[in-house]
Amino acid sequence: MQKNSQLLSIWRLWRSGGASLSSGVRNFMMRRRLTPEEWVDQTYAGGIEKIRRAITEKLATLPSGSSMRAYVEKLQSLPDERLLDEIYSRAHANPERDGCPPYRTLIEMASRAPSIDDPAWKHITRCHPCSTELRTIKRAHQPRPS
């Protein structure tokens, strides 16, 4: 019974139109199921948008002429992929390459879909040098557009 009343409430909001909540509910109800690729693209775009918003907010709090402001301004000017690379390199630097799998493993991983349970994949998600190498290998093996 409670589900029916929730559905009726959503339906009423949807039909009322005008308010941002009702348009959001309408968009949710009318949305088609996303493919995995579309879901990843949408998640990526949403993450980039949040990062850029946070950078803008941080920039507003920093005094002009400070080194941190210069760094944040640099981040703000970077393209999306370079921005993520810069943030990731600071968060998961691993300069000593502790626990890195052999290069052959990275080549194998570049040619197949990753398994969430794979310990090498878990390492790559926490190691900037390995993730950079894996992306480089994947790009090198992608077919070139003709």
pLDDT at 57 over 70: yes
Q: Where are the alpha helices (DSSP H) in 62-124?
A: 67-77, 80-91, 103-110, 119-124
pLDDT digits (tens, 9 = 90+) for 36-56: 788 888 888 999 999 999 999
Give the model's pLDDT for residue 96: 92
How much is the average pLDDT of 112-125? 83
Res 3 pLDDT > 70: no
The torsion defined by the Cα of 47, 50, 56 and 62, in degrees rounded to 10, comes to: -90
Q: What are the sequence ranges of the domains in the chain? A: 1-31, 35-78, 103-141
Average pLDDT, the chain: 81
Phi-psi region for residue 107, left (φ > 0), alpha (ψ -120 to 50) or beta?
Answer: alpha
Instruction: Identify the band that residue 18 occupies on the pLDDT scale cut at 50, 70 and 90.
Output: very low
Q: Could you read off the pLDDT of 62-82 as tens digits, one per residue?
A: 999 999 999 999 999 999 989
pLDDT attached to residue 75: 94
